[in-house]
Chains A and B, each alone.
Chain A
Amino acid sequence: MKLSGWGRSPLVDAQVSVPRDLEALQKLLASKPSVIARGCGRAYGDSAINSSATIDMRRLNRMLAFDPKTGQLIAEAGVVLCDIIAAFLPRGWFPMVTPGTKFVTLGGMIAADVHGKNHRKHGSFRGCVDWIDVIGADGSIQRCSSKSHVELFEHTLGGMGLTGIILRAAVRLRAVETGWIRQTTIPAPNLKSAMTALERAQDSTYSVAWIDCLGTGGNLGRSLVFLGDHANASDLPTYRSLHPFATPAKRKLSVPFNFPCFALNRFSLRAFNSLYYRVGVWNRGQQLVDWDSYFYPLDAVADWHRIYGRKGFAQFQCAIPLNRSEEGLSALLQTVAKAGAGSFLAVLKRFGPQESRFSFPMEGYSLALDFPITTKNSHLWPNLDRITIEHGGRFYLAKDSRMSAETLRASDDRVGSFVQMRAESGWKSSFQSAQAERLVL
């Protein structure tokens, strides 16, 4: 069947198998030359596609144990984050680290070593992972952690499924008193003030900025900075504090068809962005927001990727080290604004320090931009890549669908050792994705 990532490009014809138990999975491993595991398909590009054998892990989705003292959940890799929240938020637990969608599997979050709006304070997903059970090419299961089989553990976190199949994991959840977030909205007229606001926000658990990337001149980097903390029971109005985890049911919206390619242009985007900014300015200051709206605003619109039309879209996400961030980000935003190619979803985050073998985050700033796939935009990519590399930055593989192997190597000096590790451990021949082939990993 035709498979793609969330960006719907590239489309690859792939054989998909859906094992229902460990035995079936081991049989698949024995019969196929190389495989890649796939969860909800929320990586934007071709990370979870192997044309000869893609293994859909969503049927291996049982929760196996929970310790209410430590908040440790043991579950199979196909468990979806929204089910974890549905099961444990009513009991006072929330994920330590969550990406921008709740429709991701546990295995996918580990493989991409995802980050959230609290990276600065709590690091990436690895921080809550106690151990992982990984199946090797021979079908044997290895339990790895920061204490045993350390190299396997370190390379599996952020290893994009290229070190084996993640079968089960133990992750710790965070104790929360309510399902609400105290959100503070700070309008920032330009990039510098947005960065200042984010720098000052070191005490906030969560921080993120939405950037209007069509702003030019004095408006360059015009942003809304959103800070957030888990609300305590005492923060809620009385009528809510009786049921602190109950949040209002949301209307489900969906995008029923592909938008035509002319629907998104610089005028419609400019209008949207201006309106969004004004609403943000209007809502400045503190508000109580439910967890779903705060962490997963886009999940409320099913199939939102259709607004980018039939050809799909690509996301550009880079991280730039702290000392070069301001310079690098201005250069990136100027290039985008000049091309008039901005997106709805330009997101700026402040990353904290991170030690890892192959994960994406580094201390500094991360910028994420969506672009529909058009000839015009394809000329923009090399420029954005060049600016990122010139400023010592690197790219997020979970978002990538179009980078070249050379670009990856120029941006990240860890590629060599990752590739070597894959060759030495025998992972290279057995675990292979379309992305890994493109990037020669």
Chain B
Amino acid sequence: MAHKFAALGHPIQLAARQSETLDAEKTDLQLRYGVPVTLHEFDALLMETHAQFLAMLPELPEVAVSVVGLMGSQERSERDHLLASCIMRSNYEGPANILALLANRFEERGSGTLVGLSSVAGERGRATNYVYGSAKAGFTAFLSGLRNRLAKRGVHVVTVLPGYVATKMTEGMNLPARLTAQPSDVAERIVVAVKRKNDVIYVRPVWRMTMLIIRLIPEGFFKRLRL
């Protein structure tokens, strides 16, 4: 993602836990694209630190992308309510919290784009991943509300529902190749969406139809399915 934006000449701010581990990424981005790159310590779950994190940024970014997320194990989170809570906070509260703060600053400035990576899992709760899915559903609703609120304020919000992506999170899972995107495809699609001011994007178009069908299945029937 940083690569695609840097290639367009955008300065890059990378925020993460243990941001010093991103030193090599920083050098790589600078060498490849000749843009300034800064690293910032950020923990999505330490919400009381978010305001200070924003205050410390060298400048308010033009585009902010949240790729925070934690899949976790559905099976374990059914038995371990603290793990379930951590998954919910990581996928909803944390990212929503920082985007809310950014939204206010963007609104003050009257410009900017917020991008939130949510998930198709949030479109309908399924037995196999509803803890993760419910948090993503909350996040999707949050983004949609934010977009509605800021639409007349010059601030745009993009909701990304990537579908399956070949990342560390999905490594080892047996994913159907036709439904699976590469991280660079997701990034490419996001850059286009930011430019075109798209609202809700799927990376592989087949997901839009798939999720429409899944949403339309009557609940009485849906609850008997194994999905």
* A residues in contact with B27, CB < 8 Å: 62-65
- For A216-241 the 0/1 string (1 means CB < 8 A from B) is 00000000000000000000000000
Say if the beta carbon of A18 comes within 8 Å of chain B.
yes
- Given contacts A63-B27, A83-B32, 11 further A-B pairs with CB under 8 A are A18-B171, A63-B28, A63-B31, A63-B32, A64-B24, A64-B27, A64-B31, A66-B31, A86-B32, A87-B31, A87-B32
Say if the beta carbon of A338 comes within 8 Å of chain B.
no
Say if the beta carbon of B224 comes within 8 Å of chain A.
no
* A residues in contact with B171, CB < 8 Å: 18
Tell me how far the C-beta of A72 lies from the nearest C-beta in chain B, rounded to whole angstroms. 12
* B residues in contact with A64, CB < 8 Å: 24, 27-28, 31
Give Cα A62–Cα B24 distance, bound, in whole angstroms: 7
Among B1-46, those with CB < 8 Å from A are 24-25, 27-28, 31-33
The 7 closest A-B pairs by CB, nearest first: A62-B28, A63-B31, A87-B32, A63-B28, A62-B24, A66-B31, A63-B32
Say if the beta carbon of B79 comes within 8 Å of chain A.
no
Say if the beta carbon of B168 comes within 8 Å of chain A.
yes
* Chain B residue, CB-CB nearest to A18: B171
Tell me how far the C-beta of B103 lies from the nearest C-beta in chain A, rounded to whole angstroms. 32
Give Cα A81–Cα B24 distance, bound, in whole angstroms: 19
Say if the beta carbon of A20 comes within 8 Å of chain B.
yes
- For B118-154 the 0/1 string (1 means CB < 8 A from A) is 0000000000000000000000000000000000000
* B residues in contact with A66, CB < 8 Å: 31
Among A46-98, those with CB < 8 Å from B are 62-66, 83, 86-87
* B residues in contact with A20, CB < 8 Å: 168
Looking at chain B, what size class is its interface with the partner chain? under 10
Interface positions of A (Cβ within 8 A of B): 18, 20, 62-66, 83, 86-87
Give Cα A63–Cα B31 distance, bound, in whole angstroms: 7
* B residues in contact with A62, CB < 8 Å: 24-25, 27-28
* A residues in contact with B33, CB < 8 Å: 87
Interface positions of B (Cβ within 8 A of A): 24-25, 27-28, 31-33, 168, 171
* A residues in contact with B31, CB < 8 Å: 63-66, 87
* A residues in contact with B28, CB < 8 Å: 62-64
* B residues in contact with A63, CB < 8 Å: 27-28, 31-32
A-B contact pairs, 14 of them (CB 8 A): A20-B168, A62-B24, A62-B28, A63-B27, A63-B32, A64-B27, A64-B28, A64-B31, A65-B27, A65-B31, A66-B31, A86-B32, A87-B31, A87-B33
* A residues in contact with B25, CB < 8 Å: 62
* A residues in contact with B168, CB < 8 Å: 20
Tell me how far the C-beta of A180 lies from the nearest C-beta in chain B, rounded to whole angstroms. 22
Q: From B25, B27, B31, B171, name the one whose CB has the most chain A CB atoms within 10 angstroms.
A: B31
* Chain A residue, CB-CB nearest to B166: A18
* Chain B residue, CB-CB nearest to A24: B168
Q: From A62, A83, A86, A87, name the one whose CB has the most chain B CB atoms within 10 angstroms.
A: A62
* B residues in contact with A65, CB < 8 Å: 27, 31
Tell me how far the C-beta of B175 lies from the nearest C-beta in chain A, rounded to whole angstroms. 11
Give Cα A65–Cα B31 distance, bound, in whole angstroms: 7
* A residues in contact with B24, CB < 8 Å: 62, 64
* B residues in contact with A83, CB < 8 Å: 32
Tell me how far the C-beta of A237 lies from the nearest C-beta in chain B, rounded to whole angstroms. 27
Give Cα A86–Cα B32 distance, bound, in whole angstroms: 8
Q: From A18, A20, A63, A64, name the one whose CB has the most chain B CB atoms within 10 angstroms.
A: A63
* Chain A residue, CB-CB nearest to B31: A63
Give Cα A87–Cα B32 distance, bound, in whole angstroms: 5
Give Cα A23–Cα B203 distance, bound, in whole angstroms: 31
* Chain B residue, CB-CB nearest to A87: B32
Tell me how far the C-beta of B131 lies from the nearest C-beta in chain A, rounded to whole angstroms. 26
Give Cα A64–Cα B168 distance, bound, in whole angstroms: 23
* Chain B residue, CB-CB nearest to A63: B31
Tell me how far the C-beta of B148 lies from the nearest C-beta in chain A, rounded to whole angstroms. 37
* Chain B residue, CB-CB nearest to A90: B34
Tell me how far the C-beta of A189 lies from the nearest C-beta in chain B, rounded to whole angstroms. 47
Give Cα A65–Cα B23 distance, bound, in whole angstroms: 12
Tell me how far the C-beta of A342 lies from the nearest C-beta in chain B, rounded to whole angstroms. 35
Give Cα A64–Cα B28 distance, bound, in whole angstroms: 6
Give Cα A87–Cα B24 distance, bound, in whole angstroms: 16
Tell me how far the C-beta of B168 lies from the nearest C-beta in chain A, rounded to whole angstroms. 6
Give Cα A64–Cα B171 distance, bound, in whole angstroms: 26
Tell me how far the C-beta of A75 lies from the nearest C-beta in chain B, rounded to whole angstroms. 9
Give Cα A83–Cα B29 distance, bound, in whole angstroms: 12
* Chain A residue, CB-CB nearest to B30: A63
Tell me how far the C-beta of B5 lies from the nearest C-beta in chain A, rounded to whole angstroms. 15
Give Cα A66–Cα B24 distance, bound, in whole angstroms: 13
* Chain A residue, CB-CB nearest to B24: A62
Tell me how far the C-beta of B57 lies from the nearest C-beta in chain A, rounded to whole angstroms. 24
* Chain B residue, CB-CB nearest to A73: B31
Tell me how far the C-beta of B25 lies from the nearest C-beta in chain A, rounded to whole angstroms. 7
Give Cα A86–Cα B31 distance, bound, in whole angstroms: 11
* B residues in contact with A87, CB < 8 Å: 31-33
Give Cα A159–Cα B40 distance, bound, in whole angstroms: 42
Give Cα A172–Cα B33 distance, bound, in whole angstroms: 19
Give Cα A20–Cα B21 distance, bound, in whole angstroms: 13
Give Cα A87–Cα B33 distance, bound, in whole angstroms: 6
Tell me how far the C-beta of A46 lies from the nearest C-beta in chain B, rounded to whole angstroms. 22
Give Cα A291–Cα B27 distance, bound, in whole angstroms: 27
Give Cα A128–Cα B176 distance, bound, in whole angstroms: 42
Q: From A20, A83, A87, name the one whose CB has the most chain B CB atoms within 10 angstroms.
A: A87
* B residues in contact with A18, CB < 8 Å: 171
* Chain A residue, CB-CB nearest to B3: A83
Give Cα A62–Cα B21 distance, bound, in whole angstroms: 13
Give Cα A293–Cα B47 distance, bound, in whole angstroms: 53
Give Cα A174–Cα B169 distance, bound, in whole angstroms: 40
Tell me how far the C-beta of A87 lies from the nearest C-beta in chain B, rounded to whole angstroms. 4
Tell me how far the C-beta of B4 lies from the nearest C-beta in chain A, rounded to whole angstroms. 13
Give Cα A64–Cα B31 distance, bound, in whole angstroms: 8
* A residues in contact with B32, CB < 8 Å: 63, 83, 86-87
Tell me how far the C-beta of A55 lies from the nearest C-beta in chain B, rounded to whole angstroms. 13
